[in-house]
Chain A
Amino acid sequence: METNEKVLTGDESLQIISEMINRTKVNIRQGSFHLLFWGWLIFFCSLGEYLLVRLTDLRDPWLIWLLVIPGVFVSLIYGYIKGKSSPFHTYADMLYMWTWMGFMIAAIVLFIIISDRIESVAPFILTLAGIPTFISGFIIRFRPLIAGGLSFWALALVSYFAGPAAAPLAVPAAMLTGYLLPGYLLKRKVDHEAV
């Protein structure tokens, strides 16, 4: 940009505005970490519980889910550190972050309310998880994540209507389609753009 005050034409002004706005892409670098971290954690917990129930006599196989507690702290600390080091924050970044925070709070509340009243919370959590996944796909303009959100809802239905044999596998399947696949695709996209 020149030091002297250049007289701009209307077209030049418009070009400057367009170019600058195009440079402020949503800061999606963090997005792939959280998708992959939670995808693998929930996949491990859900498949782990299923295998513990099927293959062992453990009394409380659900205790494997306690791994989620440190997972929450890891996720929050990572997000905080990365957020502080970023030189800018777009409104879309804030929307993205608070969408997921809202889901986390709602999931905890839902679990507290219904976990001892019904046999499986999976259909309800999957239905809820589909919302931020679906919306995030639109915020960052990433179709695999939109598809991931839709897969959560489809697998919520599977989880609800399928028999006891198939239902416990809906959650790990949802992690593959809703978090891990979009997460790896997003990571590849970000790495490619960085090059």
Chain B
Amino acid sequence: MRPFKELDPVIHSQLRLAVISLLTVVEVAEFTWLREQTEATAGNLSVQISKLKEAGYIDVVKKFSNNYPQTLCRITPLGRKKFAEYVEALKDYLNP
């Protein structure tokens, strides 16, 4: 039996997986929109986004729009690659 690939611990977390799943489809997303879609608290989402950013899986840009602060998130090529690897590893678990 071939060994299972380890699931990336950065992605293998409920909220971080949700965030990175959303960001694989959208080109860029606002923090508030991510919070609505994931139904997470602002604090928890902020922590998880920071972890994804530290790992280099997403980019975070803070700017102002109509004098209001705006946080935009975008998946990086590394993040996209790691998500694809995660999905492949997941398939192994589900279809051994």
| Residues of A near any B CB (own CB < 8 A) | 1-3, 5-6, 8, 10-14, 16-17, 19-21, 23-24, 84, 87-91, 93-94
Contact = CB atoms under 8 A, between A and B. Distances in A.
B25 interface: yes
Contact of A8 (B12, B28, B29): B12
A102 to B, nearest CB: 18
A17 B21 CA distance: 6
Nearest to A94: B27
B70 to A, nearest CB: 9
B17 A13 contact: yes
Q: For chain A, what secondary structure do more than half of its interface residues adopt (helix, strand, loop), or is it mixed?
A: helix
A147 B37 CA distance: 33
A8 B8 CA distance: 12
Contacts of A93: 27
B40 A16 contact: no
B86 to A, nearest CB: 8
Given A1-B44, A3-B44, A13-B90, A90 B14 contact: no
B38 interface: yes
A89 B75 CA distance: 13
Interface of B: 7, 12-15, 17-18, 21-22, 24-30, 32-33, 37-41, 44, 65, 87, 90, 93-94
Given A13-B90, A14-B94, A23-B22, A1 B15 contact: yes
B15 A91 contact: no
Contacts of A14: 90, 94
B93 A10 contact: yes
16 contacts: A1-B39, A1-B40, A5-B14, A10-B93, A12-B14, A16-B17, A16-B21, A19-B18, A21-B21, A24-B25, A24-B26, A84-B65, A88-B28, A89-B26, A90-B25, A93-B27
